Structure 1
Amino acid sequence: MVTKQKFQSFAELLAGSQQPLLVDFYATWCGPCQMMTGILEQVNAQLQGQLKVVKIDTDRYPQIASQHHIEALPTLVLFKQGQPVDRIEGVLAANQLIERLQPHL
Structure 2
Amino acid sequence: MGATSAVTDANFASDVLQSETPVLVDFWAEWCGPCRKVDMMLEEIASELGDKVRIVKLNIDENPETARAYRVLSVPTLTMFKGGEPVQSVAGARPKGDLIKLIETAM
Give the alignment's TM-score, normalised by structure 2. Answer: 0.89
1:31 aligns with 2:6: no
1:8 aligns with 2:20: no
Q: Paired residue for 2:94, among 92, 99, 102?
A: 92
Contact 1:72 1:90 in 2 (8 A): yes
CA RMSD of aligned residues (A): 1.5
d(CA) in 2 for partners of 1:8, 1:91: 26
For residues 70 and 92 of structure 1, do their structure 2 counterparts lie closer, same or farther at Cα, with a shift above 3 Å needed?
same
The aligned runs of 1:46-57 (5 Å cut-off) are 46-57=48-59
Structure 2 counterpart SS, 1:104: coil
d(CA) in 2 for partners of 1:6, 1:67: 13
Paired position in structure 2 for 1:78: 80
Paired position in structure 2 for 1:61: 63
Give the alignment's TM-score, normalised by structure 1. Answer: 0.90
Identity %: 31
Report how many residues are paired: 105
Contact 1:7 1:13 in 2 (8 A): no
For residues 79 and 98 of structure 1, do their structure 2 counterparts lie closer, same or farther at Cα, with a shift above 3 Å needed?
same
